[in-house]
Amino acid sequence: MAEAIAGKPGALPVLRGRHDLPEISGRISAIVLDGRLPRYFWTAFFACFVFVLIFLYSITYLISVGVGAYGVNIPVVWGTMIGNFVWWIGIGHAGTLISAVLLLLRQPWRASINRFAEAMTLFAVAMAGLFPILHLGRPWFFYWLLPLPNTHMHWPQWRSPLVWDFAAIATYASVSLMFWYMGLLPDLAVLRDRAKSRPAQLFYGILALGWRGSAFHWARYQTVYFLMAALATPLVVSVHSIVSLDFTFAITPGFHSTIFPPYFVAGALLSGFAMVLTIAIPLRWAFSVQDLITLRHMDNAAKLMIAAGMIVIYGYASEAFFAWYSGETYERTMMWQRAFGPYAPLFWTMLACNGAVLQLLWFRRVRLNMPVLFAIALIINVGMWIERYVIVVTGPSRDYLPSSWGEQSLRWLDFGILFGSIGTFFALVFLFIRVLPAITIFEVEELAGERGGAR
């Protein structure tokens, strides 16, 4: 373990400098307990809050007027709501991967970024969970997707991937929440102990569920945490695979493809890590925690991005290849129209973002240059959103009968809801940073302890 942390000579450290335990817990908990956050923090929060209001307005408008208020039409009846949903779910993937998979693989570099990555997962899943409901023509009946025993004994139709989807998201959201909360317990106890005001003590005390840090507690904690990690790991693969079945199951050209599950999972990881970087890079700068969240983290996340990204590019290639190889006129026409039809600008932008820009990450200098890495992460986020949208709209816009071919439009409500959800997501991230420790105190302490010197 110690070797892994120290790494090979010349490798980037996961923790920089010498730290003792009170210093670590003090520094991290001070962000929460002192509450003296810089002015730009609040400025940024209120900027996001404006988008929260836009989000609320847009949702209210959507529900009171109807889904015809955004761009969907016949033939393209699915639109940005489905695109946003897939995008947000994808973003949520990195958190689970970091916290569960890397935990099981005993990758120590996860320690300082897993907490906010998990929080990011939760918020992203919260955003994602809204979209299937907003997508509905009659959103107030969304619960009809649940197998509720009602007087008609009218059960959901199990053959529909939307029902599987509903179950998959619900599972993912609840497991992520429990896993995140589980990992928070020791830190909540730290906050409880360090809090000076009575309300804070009560607040964190109740949340800490009586954690005393006894060896007994720690043993139980380790067992449960690892068990839950084992439980969450398949979800990384399953959730997005099931989401992709919404498409694969349909006979629409451009949807009906077996490459979708792995392709979607890889895309999810790509966008998830892009979002981790999008948050981590400003975070480590704003709170001067470059020694806790080090360049090693950034480097590793970027490496994972290029790994996932290359699978995504393989997905693009295989989609195009099999459209041709299948010999199906419908698939071929759809693919041709995707590349050279009315959605061609989006398609090529997507390839430029996710294909071309991604290649910069092969260079170590790029991976270690924070402003460039941040820009690349943003571009990949945009590219991944476009990818989701292109997949959702191009298939049905060019399906079987040319008489029905048509495009949908993007209207203000599409953008209001998309940017509103992004704003809400970041507002939640800001609140999270203010209320809970964004970096796992005990795991960083553990890391520092294992490196020796810290007491």
Contacting positions for another protein (CB under 8 A) = 65-69, 71-75, 77-78, 135-139, 141-142, 144-145, 154-157, 159-163, 166, 246, 249-252, 329-330, 333, 396, 399-406, 408-409
Residue placing its CB nearer to another protein in the complex, 157 or 214: 157
- Residue 402 Cβ vs another protein, minimum distance, rounded to whole Å: 4
* 342 touches 316 (CB < 8 A): no
* 232 touches 122 (CB < 8 A): no
- Residue 338 Cβ vs another protein, minimum distance, rounded to whole Å: 15
- Residue 262 Cβ vs another protein, minimum distance, rounded to whole Å: 22
Residue placing its CB nearer to another protein in the complex, 215 or 401: 401
- CA-closest candidate to residue 369, choices 275, 287, 302: 302
- Residue 124 Cβ vs another protein, minimum distance, rounded to whole Å: 22
Report the 10 Å Cβ neighbour count for 186: 21
- CA-closest candidate to residue 389, choices 63, 52, 70: 70
Residue placing its CB nearer to another protein in the complex, 144 or 322: 144
Radius of gyration of the chain (CA): 23
Report the 10 Å Cβ neighbour count for 295: 18
Residue with tokens 């490798």: 11
Residue 121 CA to residue 172 CA, distance in Å, equals 10
Query: What single string gives the DSSP state of each residue in 310-375?
Result: HHHHHHHHHHHHHHHHT--HHHHHHHHHHHHSTTHHHHHHHHIIIIIGGGGGGSHHHHH-HHHHHH
Residue placing its CB nearer to another protein in the complex, 168 or 270: 168
- Residue 425 Cβ vs another protein, minimum distance, rounded to whole Å: 24
Print burial letters for 106-125: b (CB count within 10 Å at least 16), e (below 16).
eebbbbbbbbbbbbbbbbbb
Residue placing its CB nearer to another protein in the complex, 145 or 191: 145
- Residue 403 Cβ vs another protein, minimum distance, rounded to whole Å: 4
Residue 223 CA to residue 230 CA, distance in Å, equals 11
Triad 311, 314, 316: Cα angle to 5°: 115
Triad 354, 360, 365: Cα angle to 5°: 150
Residue placing its CB nearer to another protein in the complex, 188 or 239: 239
- Residue 253 Cβ vs another protein, minimum distance, rounded to whole Å: 9
Residue 273 CA to residue 425 CA, distance in Å, equals 16
- Residue 135 Cβ vs another protein, minimum distance, rounded to whole Å: 7
Residue placing its CB nearer to another protein in the complex, 75 or 205: 75
Residue placing its CB nearer to another protein in the complex, 71 or 416: 71
Residue placing its CB nearer to another protein in the complex, 359 or 404: 404
